[in-house]
Amino acid sequence: MTAPPTLPKSRQQLILAVLMMCSLLIWLDNTVLSATLETLADPVRGLGADPGQLQWATGSYTLAFATLMFTAGAVGDRFGHRTVFSGGLVIFAGSSLWAAYASDAGQLIAARAAMGVGSALITPATMAVLMWTFTGAARASAIAIFSTSAGVGMAAGPVLAGLLLDRFWWGSVFLINVPVAVLALAVLAVLVPNFRSPTRRPLDPAGMLLSISGLVALAYGLIRAGQVAAWSRADVWAPIVVGLALLAVFVVAELRVKAPSFDPRLLAQRMFGGGNVALGLLLFAVAAITFYNAFYLQGALGFSPMKAGLVNIATALGAVAGAPLGSRLTRRLSLRPVAVPALTVAALTMGGYGFLGLSTPLVGIEILLFVQGLAVGMVIGPVTAALVSNLPLEQAGAGSAVTNTVRQTGSVIGIAVGGTILSIVYRRTIEPSLAGVPGPVRDQARVSAEQARHIAAVSNRPDLARAADDAFIHAMHVGAGWIAAIALLGAVVLLITLPAAGRKKDPLPELDFDEEVLSAEATRAT
């Protein structure tokens, strides 16, 4: 690889500022949507979206992001990272505008998928530009500074969403992306050279098509099960089978490619494969419990978007503190005695949702959320860093692509499964309370607790609203138990696959800039 040109220090600082702004924009957008779900479900203030549509609004973004990101780096090598970066910003800004003015849930889902495409192009280009702009010690310092944008985005996102939702309509949480993206485009054009690698990695259109088709079919079947409250129907099990088959074909196809964008062979390595399975299970659980959190705080407890956002800062602060704490403890104790207990604690906090109710003190909720964020941060950062740092240098890029794809795939499936459990249990629980209720009211109350509360207010049926709250709480308790079990399974996988401290062949390296990047990316995922 040719050495990158040395840029003036002032120019480097401006480039770093715009890269941080773009990273902040993407991760702000992730957190603001969680705070908006309850509003989107409201038939008056939002779109009247049902649980399945909200699952798709969340999952479509992650699905596009997961399946396109491992190809986006190769596109940047071929056409220049500034070109790809700029294209991603244009797509992200245009789809944000589309999402802001979506007139129904279907349009919002499509817009969110397009936003995921933009983010998939932006994310690898951001790191590539950073690596080309800075060298030596300046690179390590720049990455350390850059990594703070994740924590800032996580902490500020819910508060910003609450502020906007309290004063404007729900579309404002997407509309704010547009001026920021336009400013970033202007700065990119003026300051950033069009870096590109002299070695062009091959594109993988077949793998990209198979992975997208497989995940879409699988997610559709899982979400459809929640909509119809049954697993035996052909429109539920058939898409699941087709999705799993397409993903199997995807793995076989990637095994036959000389230089695959997603290399399944890496998963055959005990530590790398087991660590990624555990991360996928953890992100499955994180995505599902976050989905529950939005409806519990704003729906069942009746918190305003601003209050719910302030409550969720505890999770962000815990995650920001957990990543560096986990890294320091790992250097002292090794990875296994840190990651396994931390993942176990994370699972227990998710199971702790099974004890939350309509009268739970706020301080108890805050403690639970902080410990959850702390434990998750202590797992994701050190485990991700260790997995990639233990690969040969020539496999580091492929390993990072595998880890990111597995992590995002876990999130997609977690939202689908977690939301489906919530929907099925809610419908079965509220059914006895609907005896004698008029047909139209009964049908709307069955959809979700949000719809039930709305129709209860319109038809002056406070008993129906109470029944909906009770049914939701019971459904959340059941779902939390399953989610905790999935996370605990991840802890078991880590216990089996990570080497014990006394059997390590090589000590874990000191935290260098590559590990700081991985820790930052892992923190964003929470």
pLDDT at 27: 72
**Cα dist from 294 to 39, 52, 430, whole Å:** 10, 15, 20
pLDDT at 144: 56
Q: For residues 301 and 312, what is the distance between their CA atoms, to the nearest angstrom?
A: 14
pLDDT at 508: 42
**Cα dist from 353 to 13, 87, 450, 481, whole Å:** 44, 41, 19, 8
pLDDT at 177: 87
Question: Helix, strand or coil for residue 233?
Answer: coil
Q: Specify the residue for token string 């202007």.
A: 186
Q: For residues 262 and 73, what is the distance between their CA atoms, to the nearest angstrom?
A: 12
pLDDT at 114: 93
Nearest Cα neighbor of 147 from 330, 331, 16, 30 is 16
pLDDT at 410: 84
pLDDT at 99: 92
pLDDT at 514: 41
CA–centroid distance for 127 within its chain = 19
Is 407 within 8 Å of 383 (Cβ atoms)?
Answer: no
Walking along the chain (526 residues) 10 residues at a time, the average pLDDT comes out as 60 80 76 78 81 79 77 74 87 93 90 89 77 69 62 68 84 88 85 69 74 79 71 82 88 78 73 86 89 87 85 84 83 87 95 93 94 88 73 58 75 83 89 80 80 82 88 94 94 88 46 41 45
Is 315 within 8 Å of 373 (Cβ atoms)?
Answer: yes
Q: For residues 429 and 468, what is the distance between their CA atoms, to the nearest angstrom?
A: 9
